Structure 1
Amino acid sequence: MRNKISISPGSVISNQELCEKFRCGPQGGMRRSNKTNSLVLITDLEGSNYKDEWQDDILLYTGMGQLGDQELNKYQNKTLNNSPYNNITIYYFEKHEPNHYCYVGIMKKVKPAYFSIQSDKNGSLRKVWIFPLKLLSKTIPPSVAEKTALYEIKKEYNLYKKSKIDLYKKASKINQRSYRRHITNQYIRSPEISALIKKEADGRCDLCNNEAPFLDIEGLPFLECHHIEWLSNGGSDCLDNTVALCPNCHRKMHVINNKDDINNLKQIAIQRIKEMEENYRSDNS
């Protein structure tokens, strides 16, 4: 039988508290404990080399090993790969800031592991193992969703300081539709796309062309990113589906969603991409 450790989803603990509670080591994103028959998995949102990501409600968790090809049948990759047959309990945490580990919930492996090609910490391409995991609970606690949302806002502010071409290099490669279930689906949006689109809008709403109604606490024009085809209707988080709107027009699109406005915004998004491709291709040459 599994001996579940008492911890509530949404709880934030320090690394020391995590080690004491689970009786595991203090380092790494995969921490095995024979004493508690547990495997602690951690996604470091602050800047880990690993590319853990959500696809629909499945977490694609990257295996253990920072240099060279990862091996499936060694270390904690083997432990995770053999679950649930080894009767281990998998506890999943997200690290949003230094020494703050937010507990999300108990995971299970729902599909066979597969390999992918990613860069190691030195930038060399190598084979990594990806483990498709899913939460046992059907919902993400609101407290976890709030912490994630605050982290994404903070990250977007930091990304806004980068140049447009640097944002374009990342944002142009993103085409995702990911969510996690809390009260409703929490669709995961790219802060790179959001920051770039707002910079390209240059403080004006893409629909009414008026200036942003106010400056936010960072002194930036307050515009909101809008997905022309809503994520909840199957739209993707990508550059050609994203525009910057003032709060009034953003609400208008979610209440009325007029076909003429939709077509107008699609043309704006397409034209913007063409201009970015021309501008940043020449800047990068």
Structure 2
Amino acid sequence: MPGEVTALLAAMSYAVSNLLVRKGQKDTHPADNGLFPILVITGFILLSYLLIDYVRDPSPMIRSNRWLQGVEFCALSGLIATLLGRLALYRAIAKIGATRGSIVAAMSPLITLGIAITVLQERLNMRDVTGIVMLLSGVLLLLMERKLFPTRFSPGLFVQNGIWLALWATLFQGVGYAFRKIGMQGQIEPAFAGVIDTFAALMAYILILAFLGKLKSYLSYYLTHINLYIISAGFMMATAVFLFFEAVSDVPVSTVSVIMGSQPVIVALLAGIFMNSLERLTWVTAVSAGLVSVGVILLGI
């Protein structure tokens, strides 16, 4: 299968995962918005894939003496992007929906770009500037949506808090993805990097829950409240990560990033077809998703 097709399937899997999270939240209102089981499912499916792939082709997972840097930065990416970023994104989805949460969170390339400019000494070109303008225009249009359609939304403070959570998700994911970019310079296998990223997030989350005294109650809750939508979201997330790494093994990561930038449009289309009563989309949502997607693509080219 061509890498571009695999990347598109990965973007669709991410979109479906977010929509399933939204539906699962609506049905059972999980305490952490479904993050814990999704991390567990994703982590163990990725680990299983890595072990099977290694048995099939026992090539070195480390190709450079800079591997320690790669492991460290991939672990940091897991803590910041996968744990904190997903925690904020899932809470945002619970408040403002999967479509609007995905649109705002899609601004994470701006954070990554800012780090690349200040730390990696990269420079802006006209295409980057155009992408930034389109990203900001899409999000500003989304912020105006509640004023244009005041009867279709929850109270203003509720929506405003959701937007802020999505912006926090943007910050965490942007910083985390920049660390992932630095980590991959350590010449480690992408699948290995994915396992490090996911398990760093999972182990840290387990420790945090144990420290807060919530681990036992979370385990009891998810074992006694089986939510098929949340479970399905975990499998779709694992599928998305698996397809992402498959794609980057065939085509440049820049190409994959461009295709992944279509996520807001995919989420909006799928939500409009399958969950319109739950997501309550407007023409503003569609235009905003389009602007943000094009902006992300321009930044990724």
TM over 0.5: no
TM-score range, shorter chain: under 0.3
Between the two structures, name the one with larger relative contact order (CA 8 Å, sep ≥ 6): 2
Larger Rg: 1
Q: TM-score, length-normalised on structure 2?
A: 0.22
Normalised to the residue count of structure 1, the TM-score between the two structures is 0.23
When you count strand as a share of all residues, which structure comes out higher? Answer: 1
Q: Which has the higher helix share?
A: 2
